[in-house]
Structure 1
Amino acid sequence: MQGKGVVKFFLVVMTIVTLVQYFFILPTQKVEKAADEYARATTQNMSEELQKTAFKMKRAEFLDSMSSEEVFKIPMLKTYTYQELKSQQLALGLDLKGGMSVVLQVDLRQFIRALANDSKDPTFEEALNRASQAQKTEQADFVSLFADAWNEVKGDKKLAPIFTRNEALRDQINYETGDGEVVRIIREKADETVDLTFKLLKERIDKLGVTQPNVSLDESRDLIIVELPGIDNPERARTFLQAAAKLEFYNVFRIVDPGVQSAFLEANQRLAQSMQGADETREILRVDTTFVTDSLGNPLLDQIASIDTVYNSASQAGPLLDALTLNTTGAQGLAVLGFAKKNQRRYIDSLLARPDIQSLFPRDLEFRWSKDPMKDFETNELTDNYELYGLRLGRDGKPAMTGDHVVDASANPDPQTNEVAVSLKMDNTGAKIWGQLTTEAAQDNNREIAIVLDDEVVSAPRVINPILTGDSQITGSFSIQEGKDLSNILQIGKLPAETEIIQEALVGPSLGEENIRNSTIALVVGFLLVLGFMILYYGGGGIVSIIALILNIFFIFGALASYGTVLTLPGIAGIVLTIGMAVDANVIIYERIREELRDGKSLLMAVSDGFMNSYSAIIDANVTTILTAFVLAYFGLGPIKGFAVVLIIGVLSSLFTAVLVGRLLIDQWLRGDRTLTFSTGMSKNAFANLDIDWLGKRKTAYIVSGAIILAGLGAMLTRGFELGVDFKGGYSYNVTIEGAEVDAADLRSALTAAFEGNEPIVKSVDTRNTFNVVTDYQVDNTEPEADDIVMAALFKGVNQVAGGNLDLEQFKAPDGNGTHVESSSKVGPTIADDIKSSAFYAAIFALLLIFLYIFIRFSKWQYSLGAVAALFHDTLVVLGIFSIFHGILPFSLEIDQAFIAAILTVIGYSINDTVVVFDRIREFLNQYTKSSKEEVINRAINSTVSRTIITSLTTLFVVAILFFFGGASIRGFAFALLIGILVGTYSSIFVATPIMSDFTGELKAKAAGKDDKKGFSKAASSAQ
């Protein structure tokens, strides 16, 4: 093998990098163990009813306090905080851990209306209404839909006059501006707003106390996908995610103002007296982060000092000033009252919020922390300290001015100082307020004005002179990017574009634990089955393939962690499928080596030729699978995108380990005259000397396939499909009913009445007393209380059949006991139509890409036609079976996103099989040119049957285990794969190849052709 040194180099580098990735888990686990111990210690005296919730809160508090602490150090290279380590580890999705997932639609309808200063123009309103209706069924972004709708209804009107009323747009739009240019400007502003909303949401979510949240932006559809593992307060999360950014301007107190510094000193003294020797446990986070370190300087977190919540009277500074450093010198600016480390802010807030402490400070003073850490006064480097400000409230308790009056902002470096400055422009009302505000500040000893975003101070510039024009400038320690971000925030102010939840899922932790257990069993059992089979069939070569397979899984999990992938049930399915498909390359190579050995070649020559002659089939088969996965990654949302990423990484890792590392291991072993077997006594002559007329059976195959497809089409037209909420919109709940034997029919009847005559789909889940309820009741209701209405109706129906003694709050809790909702999901009509369109485009693009790739590789359209015809065949058969048997088989056969992933996986698997057969046909057509086409094709199929059957068997092993042990939530997915693998194996031989043959003319003899009888005799005796 050429380039052994390169393979060894990459193998060593990848192994080291992956090991480091795994090693990061150890210090992270130490922090989380300490968090558990702290939460347990602080909640052990609470009642059982409060303990569970309090434990989660205290654990989150501890982890938040540790987020910026250095917990691991690579000597002379880098130190890591807990948050940095956690971000480089594999995160579990909601279906494995429990939590909440939402898809947010940025409301660009209201944004465009705001840009037009709430224009009442009837044509403008009609265009907005039409765009909103079209958004429910079309893939285009809202601005494009608005432009299309405007062109339909505008008549002789122009768009520009509607937007010239906005002062911020007058520099870009005048009465002569064309509609196309206006739309371009609107789209530019909309893109900025969507991107800013996404960034602000990411910052907000960090404050929710969620470990490893996953937030992503789908720019093409203005969708923000948010996953919050472990969230236990869905109502708070909904409010938190949908609130608009709040920009405010305040006058401030200074540390030198009368009574301010003395109030801090008095507060500190009063706290020391009240907290010294207190008996009760206080709701105050006091974590001693003084660590004992090992010889390398790494903190030993097991040695964390006492986590006592009672103030230690031995402290010299006092309870408040022990955590907060007062800005007595004014070095940080007089508006900064003090500063403290990030993990002390919550503790300081709890002290300052005490009524007896609040009374010491002016009534109109409100404390707020800086958004970013402060910089060292001398070195200008960022520190871990945050600044504390005292905002001066107006008489009505409100800020002096809000961001509604900022119409424009920009960031540019000052040419004299090179300091980044943010320039502001106010509207007329804002200019008057700003003028009065700055005049008062300038006259009051050049006092500062605090700019506050979402209750955090982003800047507090000092006012030197009154600003009467509505123009001003903010200077600070901004980088160019920071200045630009701040200018964007100030320009948009309180976001005119709100967000709407159009899809939501809530999964209880108990359901997640069961999924982890079942999926782990499937993974391990499937893996062991494949290992056992490879040894029994290939002997010594099987051991090499096992080593390659273990390396493959080792690299896959490391790569997924470093990539920041969120592992979900479809992702685990992708790993299980990768295990089954990873042996495919080994099987192709080993079967070719066995063929070369039966040809009489030496072991070394057989290995060399076996690898060389296998590359073409392996590359073609894997490229087509990756093409399918790329289509999934592009069109899929959430878990489906994760499945595609797993599949792509798995295929690439399999190619490296099976082909390159496998060859390296075999060559190393064969050095020194050692031998290696590629068969056992049981498998030595398996599938040898096959002489089957496959093409002669194609008419029978056509009849069988045609009958199955016709039956499926008939079922689709008459019975339809069991559409999941992904495709029709609605609500889906998994409800566990304890203490009562309930029949699905009785529950359906009770819920039909509760849902005002709207009959839901009710199915049993596994063998437990758990039911899946799917309904489109209130799905078109866009009011905020719609979810509560549906939940109340669900509760009413379940309560009726469960005895009538249920509690609504306990019923709603995903981690509750007794009868409760274990998981739920909501898909609005807009996202349902979007998913249907995405699924359609995904299938079409996958087939188109495969057609083009086959055409390029084989240079004949007949090969592409046969391959795509087989894929259509496989898809129709799987769809037909799902239509025929839904409601008959004892498990769900829903058509949802997971099913689309299964279909596209089947397409990739089927084309994998087909390409291997086509590759051998092409080889034999070039080799044996004097025989009939049918003889050549039959011989080629006979020589690849062993590979086809063995690969299908190994993949079926793991998919069957996934089907039987993977749990109800993934059983339909696994069933689609089972059917697809069987049908795909069949279609490669009985559909793709015959169609290709029927559309190809007879072969013409070549002078260089071999003696066909001799050649075929030899080929038959050495068939795989």
Structure 2
Amino acid sequence: MLHFGRWKLLTIFLVVLAGALYTLPNLVPETVRYQINEADGSREPRGIWRYIPSSTINLGLDLQGGSYIVFEVDMNEVRTAQLESLAADVRQTLRNDPPLLPRSVAVVGEEVVVLMIREEQRDEAFERLRELNGPVTTELGQPGLAQMYDMQRDGEDPSAIRISVTDEQFTAIRQRTLSQSITVIRRRLDGLGTTDPTIARSGADRVMVQVPGADDPQEIIDLVGTQAALSFHLVDNTINPGPNGQARTPPGRTIYPVANTQPVQYLAVETRQLLTGENLTQSNVTQHPSYVGPVVGFRLDTQGALIFGDVTRNNRGRQFAIVLDDEIITAPRINEPILGGSGVIGGGYTYETASQLVILLNAGALPATLTPVEQRTVSASLGRDQIESGTLAIIIGFAAVIVFMLAAYGIFGVFSTLALLVNVVLILGGLSGLGMTLTLPGIAGIILTIGMAVDANVLIFERIREESRHGRTPANAIQAGYERALAAILDANITTFIAAAVLFMLGAGPVRGFAVTLGVGIVTSVFTAFVFSRLLAVLWLRAFKPKSLPL
């Protein structure tokens, strides 16, 4: 236990050095570490920072300031979409050979009502529609016990069948909708380049978004709340949409406004979607000789490329409208077949608006409309005040611990103080290296970690003191003290680490911030209390060879 071989010493040195290198950027101004391009805001490490870590700890919303927004998912829209989809499935099922022709299939309230032309066909239609039913699929993709739909023959109308979505099915749909919304929101915010946003469920149908460093909540709302439902349609120039787009259209035709036109112009398009955003694999900001300024280039998947090629081959001279959220963003004329599965979207974009459209297209469409129901901005000055208060708390706690340890254990108190300093350095370095976010509860986790690290040292030193009183030599007392305290230290820290892991997996926001620093601190505390402080004790023992221990 008191022997440190060359490899052990090298490992300890490298761990402490790595912690110091990852902590150092937090003490150096950004302008020293990076060369900042004022044109586009990009950063390049300068000088020695090209070869050593240059990233710092991410500060949470409560420390850095930023935007806090709560979005509500429109579950009525989700329910309506589910019923419309169910009605379409019913029509398709009844068309199968042999066809059973219904008089009508319509969404009435929260039901799909099927009316058969011939009453005697109702039972046959009912049995066929039962094929649509099945067990509810849980969020984990496993079949549940409940059924998706409640199907009943109408007791009063002998030609009617009523189908409704069960509560269990709608609950599963709600959970999937929230999960999909969170995924899309995260992709959009990651594309914006924000630092470690926090996105989590809030209640049954809400999503909470925290974006540190974002001073304008409206910018986040515009980016996150946009539906971004993309579709491609052929334009029907035989229909005059009228000056207000209110002209009556035949079945299969829809009128949309054209973006960036003054006064607003309208075009009639074929309602059938030839392609959707699901066929999009990539988009980017680029240039094109046919347009002035930036355009958005896009590439389609294999199936989309084949459809795109057929449409442009068979419809030369017609306009091809690209519709985003019920607005035509461009409607170029097809001059020649486009067989490569790629194209551009032009329309007077700036680099900023083109980049935002690229983010939306790459992230995909939201599964339902998001409405901001709560928003607030946390000022950076409040964050600085909290940092200063947290730093002061760490200094006071650290100083009190040092005074106690020096008074109680003398030279061994010095060892524990140096171990605590290394512990804090390793915690900060670990947070920087892992790209974690430091929050105000995270600062509380650091303070708690300091106390836990001292607790481990107290266990060790009391064991050493006890062994010394039993007549052991200083070397034997130190060895026995560290050996016998190890089991208790590991038990206490492992159980605490398990609690921190559970908090991280199940918690959100401030709770996860506390769990992160606590988890990292537990690992570094065990290292510094049992390995680093023991090395200091061994070096002191070899240098001074005391006859008795000053405990």
Question: TM range, normalised to the smaller chain?
Answer: 0.5 to 0.7
The CA deviation at 1:215 is: 3.8
Q: Is structure 2 residue 314 aligned with structure 1 residue 424?
A: no
* Contact in 2 for aligned 1:575/1:647 (Cα 8 Å): yes
The CA deviation at 1:602 is: 0.3
Q: Structure 1, residues 248-286: CA drift from partner, whole Å, max 9, x if none? A: 6699xxxxxxxxxxxxxxxxxxxxxxxxxxxxxxxxxxx
For residue 20 of structure 1, what is the aligned residue in structure 2? 21
Q: May I ask how many residue pairs the two structures share in their alignment?
A: 441
Q: TM-score, normalised by structure 1?
A: 0.36
Q: Is structure 2 residue 391 aligned with structure 1 residue 520?
A: yes
Q: Structure 1, residues 774-807: CA drift from partner, whole Å, max 9, x if none? A: xxxxxxxxxxxxxxxxxxxxxxxxxxxxxxxxxx
For residue 91 of structure 2, what is the aligned residue in structure 1? none
The CA deviation at 1:672 is: 4.5
For residue 532 of structure 1, what is the aligned residue in structure 2? 403
Tell me: CA distance 1:465–1:203, structure 2 relative to 1, closer, same or farther (3 Å): same
Matches within 5 A, 1:55-454: 65-67=40-42, 69-72=43-46, 88-104=55-71, 106-107=73-74, 110-111=77-78, 113-117=80-84, 120-124=107-111, 154=150, 156=152, 190=177, 193-194=180-181, 196-203=183-190, 205-206=192-193, 212-216=195-199, 225-245=208-228, 247=230, 396-397=264-265, 405=273, 406=275, 409=278, 421-424=301-304, 438=312, 442=316
Residue 304 of structure 2 aligns to a residue whose secondary structure is: strand
The CA deviation at 1:219 is: 12
For residue 643 of structure 1, what is the aligned residue in structure 2? 514
For residue 498 of structure 2, what is the aligned residue in structure 1? 627
Q: Is structure 2 residue 424 aligned with structure 1 residue 553?
A: yes
* Contact in 2 for aligned 1:626/1:651 (Cα 8 Å): yes
Tell me: CA distance 1:656–1:423, structure 2 relative to 1, closer, same or farther (3 Å): same
Aligned partners of 1:16 and 1:65: how far apart in 2?
Answer: 35
1:474 corresponds to which of 337, 341, 345: 341
Tell me: CA distance 1:64–1:461, structure 2 relative to 1, closer, same or farther (3 Å): farther
What percentage of residue pairs aligned between the two structures are identical?
28
Compare the two structures and name the one with the higher strand fraction. 2
Q: Structure 1, residues 148-205: CA drift from partner, whole Å, max 9, x if none? A: 9985982548xxxxxxxxxxxxxxxxxxxx9999999969974884365234431464
The CA deviation at 1:658 is: 0.6
Tell me: CA distance 1:492–1:552, structure 2 relative to 1, closer, same or farther (3 Å): closer
Q: Structure 1, residues 809-858: CA drift from partner, whole Å, max 9, x if none? A: xxxxxxxxxxxxxxxxxxxxxxxxxxxxxxxxxxxxxxxxxxxxxxxxxx
2:337 corresponds to which of 465, 477, 485: 465
Q: Structure 1, residues 582-622: CA drift from partner, whole Å, max 9, x if none? A: 10110000000000000000000001111111111111111
* Contact in 2 for aligned 1:421/1:475 (Cα 8 Å): no
Aligned partners of 2:479 and 2:545: how far apart in 1?
Answer: 16
* Contact in 2 for aligned 1:73/1:79 (Cα 8 Å): no
Q: Structure 1, residues 712-748: CA drift from partner, whole Å, max 9, x if none? A: xxxxxxxxxxxxxxxxxxxxxxxxxxxxxxxxxxxxx
The CA deviation at 1:228 is: 2.4
Q: TM-score, normalised by structure 2?
A: 0.63
Tell me: CA distance 1:224–1:31, structure 2 relative to 1, closer, same or farther (3 Å): farther
The CA deviation at 1:501 is: 4.5
Unaligned runs of 5+ in 2: 88-106, 113-135, 154-164, 235-258, 282-298, 345-356
* Contact in 2 for aligned 1:27/1:71 (Cα 8 Å): no
1:576 corresponds to which of 425, 432, 447: 447
Aligned partners of 2:268 and 2:169: how far apart in 1?
Answer: 35
Amino acid in the other structure paired with 1:575: I
Aligned partners of 1:17 and 1:393: how far apart in 2?
Answer: 58
The CA deviation at 1:667 is: 1.5
The CA deviation at 1:214 is: 1.8
For residue 337 of structure 1, what is the aligned residue in structure 2? none
Tell me: CA distance 1:491–1:111, structure 2 relative to 1, closer, same or farther (3 Å): farther
The CA deviation at 1:99 is: 2.3
Amino acid in the other structure paired with 1:98: G
Matches within 5 A, 1:849-928: none
Unaligned runs of 5+ in 1: 36-61, 126-139, 158-177, 252-390, 413-418, 467-471, 478-485, 685-1024
Aligned partners of 1:461 and 1:74: how far apart in 2?
Answer: 54
For residue 482 of structure 2, what is the aligned residue in structure 1? 611
* Root-mean-square deviation (Å): 5.4
Aligned partners of 2:448 and 2:264: how far apart in 1?
Answer: 63
The CA deviation at 1:550 is: 0.2
Residue 600 of structure 1 aligns to a residue whose secondary structure is: coil
Tell me: CA distance 1:624–1:107, structure 2 relative to 1, closer, same or farther (3 Å): farther
The CA deviation at 1:421 is: 3.6
Residue 517 of structure 1 aligns to a residue whose secondary structure is: helix
Residue 506 of structure 1 aligns to a residue whose secondary structure is: strand
Aligned partners of 2:384 and 2:447: how far apart in 1?
Answer: 18
